[in-house]
Amino acid sequence: MNDPSPRYRLRSSTRFRTVLDEGLALDQETARLHVLNPAAAVILEALTTGPRSVSELVERVLEAFEAEPASVRRDVEAFLGEAIAEGLVEAIQER
């Protein structure tokens, strides 16, 4: 059975880089530069290699930081919502 939950990917207009330990995301459509907190940088870094589920992104953040899994899941979901609203990330349904 296929997992019906969405996966997330960077929009084609999003560029992500780490510069001097800071995560930076550039939306090329709007020319807006976003300075990211460390957890958000881990999430976008993971998305540079392809679509990821919330669970996969939670695992990446937990590998980088000591934190409570339920709290990290809430934070990842909240960040994805913000990143979608800002036009950096999009949700996709893979078949």
Distance CA 77, CA 20 (A): 26
Q: What angle do CA 42, 74, 48 make, to 5 degrees?
A: 25
Residue-wise pLDDT tens digits, 11-43: 999 999 999 888 999 999 999 999 999 999 999
49, 50, 56, 58 alpha-carbon torsion, rounded to 10°: 70
Tokens at 36, concatenated: 């990211």
Q: In what order do the strands lie in the sheet with 7-10?
A: 52-53, 7-10, 89-92
What pLDDT does 93 receive? 86
Per-residue pLDDT for 95 more than 70?
no
Distance CA 92, CA 62 (A): 23
pTM (two decimals):
0.91
